[in-house]
Amino acid sequence: MKTSKLTQLILLFGILTYSCGEDLNTEKSNTNYNKTEKNIENPILDKGVGPITSVEINKEINKELATHGKTVFETNCTACHKLDKRFIGPAITGVTNRRSPEWIMNMVLNPELMVKENDAAKQLLMEYMSPMANQNLTEDEARAVLEYFIEIDN
Ligand code: HEC
């Protein structure tokens, strides 16, 4: 079958808009996760599964952000986490040395999928025998909590 120039153009346009639409989806929707490679030998490179694929960390702690993170942590997390000892969940101190920033944020934003699909999180669930509850934080709140965790470990 011979396709006309016009049909070809329409097809091309369709493909272009389709792929752009897909890109937008991956950024926006919470179901289209970008699964990152696990790295068993170097767990700190494991980014986990969830909405976060890359986090920028500044050398200097953003004090204001960390203080906000502390408030979010104390409101949503201390029912299960203590800083320096095991409680319902693991102690928080040192977490930024054993996990990547992306992994931490994915664990906070997406614990259900993490314990299903991420080996390190699966192991934690087996060890702690109680699932981490999703506190429905926004990405900004999770980022603030991460800044607080980095401050603790510095
Ligand atoms: C209902 C209890 C509960 C709440 C509330 C909770 N967690 Fe957890 N958390 C856990 C448990 C239990 C684990 C271990 C994984 C599992 O069993 O699902 C965990 C694991 C983690 C880990 C991984 C720790 C590690 O050693 O790798 C991080 C980080 C974390 N939680 C952060 C948070 C933050 C931040 C909040 C608040 C927004 C929070 N958690 C709220 C129970 C909880």
Q: Are 104 and 96 in contact (CB under 8 A)?
A: yes
In this prediction, residue 11 carries a pLDDT of: 58
pLDDT-based confidence at 147, cuts 50/70/90? very high
pLDDT-based confidence at 137, cuts 50/70/90? very high
d(CA 141, CA 15): 37
Residue 89 Cα to ligand 1 midpoint, Å, equals 5
In this prediction, residue 44 carries a pLDDT of: 84
Give the ligand 1 atom nearest the CA of 141: 38
Mean pLDDT of the region 2-29: 53
d(CA 101, CA 56): 9
Give the ligand 1 atom nearest the CA of 99: 27
In this prediction, residue 106 carries a pLDDT of: 98
In this prediction, residue 78 carries a pLDDT of: 98
d(CA 25, CA 138): 18
Mean pLDDT of the region 55-80: 97
Residue 79, exposed/middle/buried by CB under 10 A (0-12, 13-18, 19+)?
exposed
Query: Using only C-alpha atoms, what is the Rg of the chain?
Result: 20
Q: Which of 1-10, 45-54, 143-152 has the lowest mean pLDDT?
A: 1-10
